[in-house]
């Protein structure tokens, strides 16, 4: 007869579809029961993709039958819950009867800003995009309509970039986002001690992100911009399992080498059915005093990435000292210098993002 420990070891060889991590370390195994010749495994998944539970169930059954050939019966039960949804997603019956249970019920569109690696200006991009979106929405008569959720656990920098220095308050067990420049801001940085380096392990990342995503009381927002951690690993999977995203923007640099990295990130969104809104290229060029452009980091990475990912190229953001200064001083360039070239570039991208979100098949 198999032991519980042996069954768990066997389950550790079953990867989550599309990922190299296994279902045990993702915390999906709720119970393993062994009775005479029966092995029963209870799993709990959060996904909107109906295929995934079926694939997991099938693979687990095959694996257990292979590892424990003398067992008469293998019973795998998968409990599936849907991710918290934004307004643009169809709601489940449970949510219709309990609208306040979903902290995202007032949010119309949720988008993620992603990059294959750190240091490409993803957070700077997320902040300025949010500011540009807010300017457009203000003109439409909507105030306090944009939020930023900083999930970059490795370097949460959005509060500083948005000039926010206080800590959020808790109300009815929900965290109330802080606000500046008419934009709601919530950051993982508020939850971790900046003096203590945190070593994030897979399951820990997953739990923290899920809690973070489910316990913030967002207002009635038109767009919530999520700054993802760089890379394509567990944190991103946790996030997209917890919140249903309406789309993702991939930020890259102009180096041709960046294309490979960005491609990996985009493949991850494909695996979890999140549509790509497009690719934005940051640090594209430096404008010279004579009006010429110096391509310090090479050329072509952004458009090439967009072609590879079969998505749109949203535009280029130049290298500009004012961008860095705006971030360091807590006033993003879109607000500090709205007539500057970079601010206009962010604005152009924001218009496209909003158009994409408002397309009939997205709404």
Q: Are strands 276-287 and 73-81 parallel, antiparallel or unpaired?
A: unpaired
CA distance 230 to 228: 6
CA distance 316 to 253: 9
| 186 lies in the binding site for ligand ADP (CB under 6 A) | no
Interface with ligand ADP (CB under 6 A), residue from 122, 217, 337, 347: 122
| 158 lies in the binding site for ligand ADP (CB under 6 A) | no
68 φ, ψ to 5°? -130, 70
CA distance 321 to 326: 8
| 121 lies in the binding site for ligand ADP (CB under 6 A) | yes
| 137 lies in the binding site for ligand ADP (CB under 6 A) | no
CA distance 131 to 126: 9
Shortest gap between Cβ of 245 and ligand ADP (angstroms)? Answer: 18
**Which residues share a beta bridge with 29?**
43
Q: By CB under 6 A, how many residues form the interface with ligand ADP?
A: 17
Shortest gap between Cβ of 282 and ligand ADP (angstroms)? Answer: 5
Burial zone of 166 (CB within 10 Å; 0-12 exposed, 13-18 middle, 19+ buried): exposed
| 136 lies in the binding site for ligand ADP (CB under 6 A) | no
Q: Tokens 């995009």, residue?
A: 129
CA distance 21 to 92: 29
Stretch that binds ligand ADP, among 1-9, 112-120, 166-174, 203-211 (CB under 6 A): 112-120
Residue 295, both tokens: 């391509």
Shortest gap between Cβ of 159 and ligand ADP (angstroms)? Answer: 12
Stretch that binds ligand ADP, among 38-46, 58-66, 117-125, 234-242 (CB under 6 A): 117-125
Shortest gap between Cβ of 63 and ligand ADP (angstroms)? Answer: 39
| 358 lies in the binding site for ligand ADP (CB under 6 A) | no
Q: Which of residues 272-331 bind ligand ADP (CB under 6 A)?
A: 282-283, 317, 319-320, 323-324, 327
Residue ranges that bind ligand ADP, judged by CB under 6 A: 115, 118-124, 157, 282-283, 317, 319-320, 323-324, 327
């Amino acid at each position: 007869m198999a032991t519980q420990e042996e069954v768990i070891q066997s389950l550790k060889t079953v990867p989550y579809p599309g990922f190299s991590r296994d279902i045990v370390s993702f915390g999906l195994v709720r119970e393993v029961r062994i009775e005479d010749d029966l092995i029963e495994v209870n799993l709990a998944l959060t996904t909107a993709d109906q295929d995934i539970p079926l694939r997991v169930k099938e693979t687990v059954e095959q694996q257990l039958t292979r590892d424990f050939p003398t067992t008469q019966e293998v019973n795998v039960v998968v409990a599936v819950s849907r991710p918290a949804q934004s307004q643009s997603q169809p709601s489940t019956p449970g949510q219709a009867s309990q609208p306040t249970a979903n902290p995202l019920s007032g949010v119309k569109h949720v988008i993620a800003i992603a990059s294959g690696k750190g240091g490409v200006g993803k957070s700077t991009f997320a902040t300025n995009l949010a500011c540009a979106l807010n300017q457009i929405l203000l003109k439409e008569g909507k105030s306090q309509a944009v939020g930023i959720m900083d999930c970059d656990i490795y370097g949460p920098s959005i509060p500083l970039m948005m000039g926010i220095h206080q800590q959020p308050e808790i109300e009815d067990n929900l965290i109330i986002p802080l606000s500046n420049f008419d934009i709601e801001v919530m950051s993982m940085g508020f939850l971790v001690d900046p003096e203590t380096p945190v070593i994030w392990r897979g399951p820990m990342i997953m739990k923290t992100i899920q809690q973070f995503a489910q316990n913030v009381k967002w207002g009635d927002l038109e767009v919530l911009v999520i700054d993802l951690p760089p890379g394509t690993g567990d944190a991103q999977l946790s996030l997209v399992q917890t919140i249903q995203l309406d789309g993702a923007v991939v930020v890259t640099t102009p180096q041709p080498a960046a294309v490979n990295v960005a491609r990996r990130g985009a493949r991850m969104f494909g695996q979890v059915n999140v549509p790509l809104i497009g690719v934005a290229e940051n640090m594209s060029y430096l404008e010279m005093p004579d009006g010429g452009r110096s391509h310090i980091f090479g050329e072509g990475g952004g458009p090439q990435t967009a072609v590879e990912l079969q998505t749109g190229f949203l535009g280029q953001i130049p290298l500009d000292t004012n961008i860095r200064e705006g971030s360091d001083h807590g006033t993003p360039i879109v607000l500090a210098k709205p007539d500057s070239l970079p601010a206009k570039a962010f604005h152009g991208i924001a218009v496209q993002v909003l158009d994409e979100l408002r397309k009939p098949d997205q709404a």
